[in-house]
Amino acid sequence: MKRKNNIRKIIQIIFFLLIGIVAAAELMPLHALCPFGGVVTLYSLITQGTLIQKIHMSSIVLMSLIFLLSILFGPVFCGWVCPLGSVQEWIGELGKKIFPKRYNLFIPSKIDRGLSF
């Protein structure tokens, strides 16, 4: 299990750095690497019958791949590839180290249950 976590961390760091380098070097538009543009375009296509012209085609391809991976393997993209998911996980791990006894106990459970919806 420890080995799997180490491999996952390495993959997260690689994708985090790769996307950061591509963004900093302006090798391609950053939205070309983000699947959310595909979601927005799909929503526009369903509701208005038109595609959003500013969205890069790779966003739609990425969105399709992520849907397929999610169906086959669960939340693989958010936990292994997405830089935002990686940062959220790293901040969570830092919180566990800083607040070992109070981690996830700052908000009362009644309020947490209501906010989770």
What tens digit of pLDDT does each residue of 31-90 get? 677 777 777 777 887 888 777 777 777 777 888 888 888 888 887 887 888 888 888 888
Q: Residue 100 above 70 pLDDT?
A: yes
Q: How confident is the model at residue 1 (pLDDT cuts 50, 70, 90)?
A: low
* Radius of gyration (C-alpha) of the chain in whole angstroms: 18
pLDDT of residue 80: 83
Q: What is the pTM of this model?
A: 0.67
Q: What percent of the chain has pLDDT over 90?
A: 3
Say how many domains are in the chain.
1
State the residue range of the domain holding 78.
2-116
